């Protein structure tokens, strides 16, 4: 894909993101045909940020999530620093389409993992992790029907990335735990509670992290020290409304919260 084409496609999607408006799909001459072309468009997002890239998100790490958006595997997206909300912060739902909050395990990296000629193994990746965090993602899409456009266009649209909340680093010795067996709880205070499982995230949040590292590597992209990777929802997304308070409780691993303006 020519650089001018990927820029135009990204700029169009970013304009809709900023205005919280929708398009049916990208125009034919701007439409990615492959995952690689989708990532070329997504990469142009960093031109719209004044800060270094905060990190990465993974969409569709569960079978239910993949079926929901009609893809056959996970998708990677960027977390822009300007779209990170402080723990306990308040945001507006505005004209967002999805109107859900997702409870997720997130990892902060201690050192770079550059693209390589072979797949990274679990030991290499986990050795590069600095900390584990509870997190909340508020996804959204710039397409009128995000279930109909396919993986390349969803990747171009930042894998439905929107807002992100990072909780404090887990003080518990999380490396000794079986994260697949953890049972985080998501609440909308006063009206909804759901229990999840680490096993809902590609069977284990660590496996999701390894998938992300190797997905980036296969496209010539590094995962850098200090960046955060959020690994996908571990419970059915919480349907949110204006005025809601969302809390994610990971037990000994910590808590994180977010409020929506009335």
| pLDDT for residue 1 is more than 90 | no
User: Do 43 and 80 contact (CB within 8 A), yes or no?
Assistant: no
What CATH number should be reported for the domain holding residue 209? Answer: 3.90.850.10
Asked if 258 contacts 246 with a C-beta cutoff of 8 angstroms, the reply is yes
pLDDT surpassing 90 at residue 115: yes
Give the single-character DSSP code of 146.
T
Quick one: average pLDDT of 195-204?
Answer: 97
Residue-wise pLDDT tens digits, 17-72: 999 999 999 999 999 999 999 999 999 999 999 999 999 999 999 888 888 889 98
Query: 227, 158, 232: which is closest to 201 by C-alpha?
Result: 232
DSSP state of 90: E
Asked if 71 and 151 touch (Cβ cutoff 8 Å), the reply is yes
Average pLDDT of the residues in 247-253: 98
Sign of the dihedral through C-alpha 41, 47, 48, 52: positive
Residues 63-104: tens digit of each pLDDT: 888 888 899 899 999 999 999 999 999 999 999 999 999 999
CA distances from 227 to 32, 93, 260 (A): 27, 26, 26
Q: How many domains does the chain have?
A: 1
Distance CA 202, CA 199 (A): 7
pLDDT tens by residue, 130-179:
999 999 999 999 999 999 999 999 999 999 999 999 999 999 899 999 99
Domain that holds residue 166: 3-260
Query: And the tokens for 90?
Result: 């308040």
């Amino acid at each position: 894909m020519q650089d001018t084409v990927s820029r135009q496609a990204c700029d169009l999607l970013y304009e809709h993101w900023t205005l919280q408006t929708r398009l049916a799909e990208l125009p034919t001459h701007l439409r990615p045909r492959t995952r690689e072309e989708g990532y070329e468009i997504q990469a142009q997002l960093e031109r719209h940020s004044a800060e270094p890239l905060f990190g990465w998100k993974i969409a569709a790490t569960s079978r239910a999530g993949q079926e929901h958006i009609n893809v056959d595997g996970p998708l990677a997206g960027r977390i822009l620093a300007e779209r990170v909300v402080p723990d306990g912060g308040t945001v507006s739902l505005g004209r967002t389409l999805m109107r859900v909050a997702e409870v997720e395990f997130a990892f902060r990296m201690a050192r770079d993992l550059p693209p390589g000629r072979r797949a990274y193994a679990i030991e290499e990746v986990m050795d590069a992790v600095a900390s584990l965090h509870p997190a909340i993602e508020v996804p959204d899409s710039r397409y009128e029907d995000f279930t109909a456009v396919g993986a390349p266009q969803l990747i171009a649209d930042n894998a439905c990335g929107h807002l992100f909340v990072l909780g404090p680093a887990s003080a518990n010795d999380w490396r000794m735990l079986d994260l697949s067996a953890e049972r985080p709880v998501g609440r909308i205070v006063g009206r909804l509670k759901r229990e999840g499982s680490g096993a809902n995230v590609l069977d284990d949040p660590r496996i999701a992290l390894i998938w992300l590292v190797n997905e980036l590597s296969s496209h010539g992209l590094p995962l850098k020290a200090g960046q955060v990777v959020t690994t996908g929802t571990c419970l059915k997304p919480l349907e949110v409304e204006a005025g809601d308070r969302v809390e994610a409780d990971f037990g000994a691993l910590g808590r994180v919260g977010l409020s929506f303006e009335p």
